Structure 1
Amino acid sequence: MTSKLPPPSVWINSKCCTFGASVFDSILSTSSRNSLREDISSTDDDSSANHYDRTLVSLNQGYDNGQLTLLSASSLSDGNGSKGVLRIPFGRSRSYPPLGSHPCPTTVSETQAATQAKLLSQGSGPNVRRFVQLAVVGLVVSPQNEILITRRPSYMRSFPHAWVFPGGSVDSTDDSLEAAIAREIWEETGLKVSGSSLSAMQALDASAGDGEKTTTSCSGWTIECIWESVFPTIPEPGITIKRHHLVVYLSIKLSEREMSQMSLKLCDEEVDAAVWLSPKKVNSILAKGLCRADSSVSEEEIWVDLLTSSNTQVAAKTGVKESLEHLSGIYPRFDDDDTSSQHPFGMAQGSLFALQEYCNRHHDE
């Protein structure tokens, strides 16, 4: 007897995505290469220094019965139409040594084989994750276009001391993606933002020329991009995949009134610091993140005001600062070759991808 698929889950057309198998490649295999030829970042173009593969994925309107459904481009040309469908940037890591980037483990045959063997040995117990899980991450934007980013505590098992945007797995109790990210943001930062349903989301008209639909928003929320997240991030022979998520990045811009009524209260268990990044600092991070490791973007050291979980409000007044260098580049980075006594730093690769996509879409604001 086939076990019931636990929500929330990720689907491509009518098929549930399998743990350890590349969602990105599954989308490409079910899509028309001609329709995607202008959307895929060329892996041969070294000049762009991309640390990711990128395409556009068709996202079915809404989040129904705990399922997020991705539609291939071919399904839209089979008479199903494109009403209520969004075209969302979709990325995954690829190997780019100067930036410390490694290929997504789901694309490495040795990693896939080890993961499949482990799943077979575990049988069909309730704790065996056989399907890709759904997660949400939020970019909270101030009226001055500052973006909130948080740092994970150094004792965490995955991504210790990494800079990330707040977020986490979607629970079966979440009735929408917006409700899930509102819950995660409140749990991690103490900010209470709207969590209204995605059901009212309406797709915008297709852009002229390429037929791409832009992302849209409801009650202030915007779906910016999707990232295929796999942990461990570095594929090694015989090492199994422990976590496999499809991460939906959403953004919300706060009004002056909303901002004045909110105050940060960082969760000690999940966050040990936070920073509001100005547009200038965001541009500096992206410039560093898109350059080779041996090149210098600026000789001037830039510092940011660090808000700490020990006393969030006081920290902003007492001049606690962090070098912007520690927020830049792909995590994990170190100051020198001696890593034994250091905390790693840098930004999680999916967060860096989302920051780039956000800035590309909102550069005129």
Structure 2
Amino acid sequence: MPSTSKHKTGKKIAENETAPASVHRMKYLQLAEYINHLIEIEELKINDRLPSLNQLIEKLKISKETALKGLNYLSEKGIIESEYRKGYYVKKKKQYQPYRICMILDKMNVLRDRVYDSFLKTIKDKGVVDVYFHHHNFKVFEKLINENLSNYTHFVITTFLHGNTTEVINRIPAQKRIILDYEEKNLSGDYTCIYQDYKTDIQESLTELAPQLDKYSRLVLIAPLEAFHAREVINGFETFCKLNNKNHIIYNTVDENSCKKGDAYITFSRYDQDDVSIIKLARKNKWTLGKDIGLISYNDTAVKEILENGITVISTDFNKMGEEAAKAILTKKTIMMRDPAKVILRNSL
């Protein structure tokens, strides 16, 4: 008696059946997405036999080698299994992920980690996210864009680069483009941007802190020239000081010989080295932070919450930045949104 099988007969490929149009992948991954799509729409069910190798080759216009590579990929993922001399069968259903996202960040630190984590929590199982870093190197950034243009449904990017970023970013179709943190100018099309307004942020934050700043005789901004957004922060700082008739000065680094009792310092960038220098200076001169000198730092961290009984910060909500970027993808909407900074007042002021 011939043996019976639990497997159903392989289905014929419908003439108009194609993989989701939004997915643009390497050839063997196109096959994998095609099979996953048939499973998702229940054209193929658990224990069904896949179309034959020749059917797949003819339908997708790919080589035998590419088809086998795609089938092997699905086998490694546990989606299908092969039976000797019988073919491939559906083993389990894989939830279709409609979005393949290329995230290109300038660097990884605690702040970028917040963006990344909140983005992943919001996108959940609706997308696959690959992360790259350009480390402020324009050539690396350009190479990442050029090599991946056809591989992803969306690009989530932080720039902070010197070079013709506009021309490179415009190579990405506008509907695929999401710019974070810095508002790049003169980009084409209708795209998403969630950004900080550095000039407005510092001006509004210092206005909020005006009562605490009144006890200090001078405001000192430590503005590293190499910081990409230094000019915007300086403009906002000077605007506040002029409007409020504040004695002020700008230094590029913390200079012990220029610091004096009665100063209130605003620092940003340089991985908090300037904060450490000011704290060391206060200890050396036996000045009390928040009384003899003040300190306002950019971007909150767990360390700043407890360091010297708490450092006052001007901080953007990076969790919100990542969340809103993911929402823009999921809702298929483009947004242009400022992510405003907030003040956290602590003992250092």
Q: Fold-level match, TM-score > 0.5?
A: no
What's the TM-score once normalised by structure 1's chain length? 0.21
What's the TM-score once normalised by structure 2's chain length? 0.22
Higher helix share: 2
Q: Which has the higher contact order (CA 8 A, sep 6+)?
A: 1
Higher strand share: 1
Look at both structures and tell me which one has the larger radius of gyration over its CA atoms: 2
